[in-house]
Amino acid sequence: MNLDSFAVEQVMIHDVPRGNDPEEHVILTDLPIELDVDLRQYFRRKIVGSLTERGVEVVADQDQDDTVRQALAQLLADPEQLVAASREIATRLDEVQTGRNPPGLVAVIVGKVEDAKCTSVLKLEREQGLRFRIEIVDGRTVVDLEHLRDLTLTDKTKVFKTSLFVHSGRGQPRADSIVGHVSDDQRGSDTKAGVASFFLGTFLGCRLRDSPEKATLAFVQAVDAFVNNDVISAEKRGRYQVALLATMQDNTAEVRPRTFADTNIDSSDRPALFDRLRAAGVDPDSPFPKDVSLVKVRGFKMTFDSGMVLVGSSSDLEERVRIRSENDAQPGVDINDTIKTLRGR
């Protein structure tokens, strides 16, 4: 999904209180807000920024409630159903939130991405007790937009949850045919990666496209194939392998393929890496939760043309093994260590 192509067409906003709050009730509006250039850019910037930074790929989960997915499919089939579908979505969020979930504004958006219809559900920060004002126009509940701009729709407003969905396959959109990207900005870098199960499963009725352990394994295997088949320079091979091991061993909760490449791989080598990732089913632009349970990340194994093998930890490779560059008079490696024992075999 090319997020750069995303365009906002219509926006509905509803006010959802904190879960289990007996003093507040959900406020549902009856008309989309009036959009100008600034508001279109505001919502686009919030959605694209959040999904680019933390978005994970999701699909329908047949084992979860499909209320929201049905509404999303309805919107993808007919954007004119925005009012009814968005009210259904906001009502569902109000029903499933608990006291742990803060109040917020729910924006339901219809637009286009890559010239295809799309829909987005965005939960924005709203201070406890500070609700937006509504007006009654021709018997319909509408948002006091100026008050909304002043109090809520600012660049300081936090994005809690973000999603963007499209229809996969052919035929009429269905609850089980939607796919998309979801991000959770309330989960910091020191917590488990991905999206809160409440928002992803209970509310949206979705699940991660791939299990974290399989996605991590596919990434590692693709980088290994790139290093050993596409990189000629031995020095680069060592450098790239050190970067891969470091990425798998650090305390970050997510793998961001594009960031990994931009940080560690020479620009001339990145196209080959991206080809390997795509061939393995890994989208370079889609972060995913890191789970190293299926991969070996504690050390390295270096095999020489002669058949000799050198093994060690990732720190050994970085600190004690120098891989000579192609400009050295004689290729090979230098080992900076002291021999402890030497035996025949």
What is the DSSP code (8-state) at residue 339? -
Q: Is residue 155 part of a domain?
A: yes
Q: What is the pLDDT of residues 189-240, one digit of tens each?
A: 433 445 678 888 889 999 888 788 888 999 999 999 999 899 988 888 888 8
Query: Which range marks the domain in which residue 150 is found?
Result: 3-208
Residue 82 pLDDT? 94
Q: Are residues 238 and 93 in the same domain?
A: no
Positions in the chain whose pLDDT score sits under 70? 19, 127-135, 137, 147, 150-152, 154, 186-195, 297-303, 306-311, 313-314, 317-318, 325-329, 339-345
Whether 172 and 43 map to the same domain: the answer is: yes
Q: Could you give the dihedral angle defined by the CA atoms of residues 284, 285, 288 and 293, in that order, rounded to the nearest 10 degrees?
A: 10
Q: Identify the residue whose tokens are 């029903």.
A: 95
Check whether residue 198 and residue 237 sit in a common domain.
no
Specify the pLDDT at position 214: 86
Instruction: Answer with the one of 175, 208, 241 that is the final residue of a domain.
Output: 208
State which of 208, 242, 267 marks the end of a domain.
Answer: 208
Q: Are residues 46 and 146 in the same domain?
A: yes
34 and 146 share one domain:
yes
Q: Are residues 192 and 261 in the same domain?
A: no
Residues 293, 187 share a domain: no
DSSP state of 18: -
Residue 228 inside a domain? The answer is: yes
Task: Say if 343 falls within a structural domain.
Answer: no
Token pair 């289990």: residue: 20
According to the model, what pLDDT value does residue 124 have? 85
In a domain, 344, yes or no: no
The pLDDT of residue 272 is 95
219 and 118 housed in the same domain: no
Give the separation between CA 6 and CA 40, rounded to whole angstroms: 11
Number of domains within the chain: 2
Q: Which tokens sit at 12?
A: 């509905």
**Residue 92 in domain:** yes
Q: What are the phi and psi torsion angles at 338 (to 5°)?
A: -105, 135
pTM of the model: 0.65
- Round to whole Å and give the CA distance between 106 and 199: 13
Please check whether residue 341 lies inside any domain of the structure.
Answer: no
pLDDT value at position 8?
93
In a domain, 303, yes or no: yes
Q: In the listed set 146, 179, 208, which residue is the last one of a domain according to the structure? A: 208
Residues 66 and 197 in one domain: yes
pLDDT of residue 279: 92
Q: Residue 33 falls within a domain, yes or no? A: yes
The length of the chain in residues reads: 345
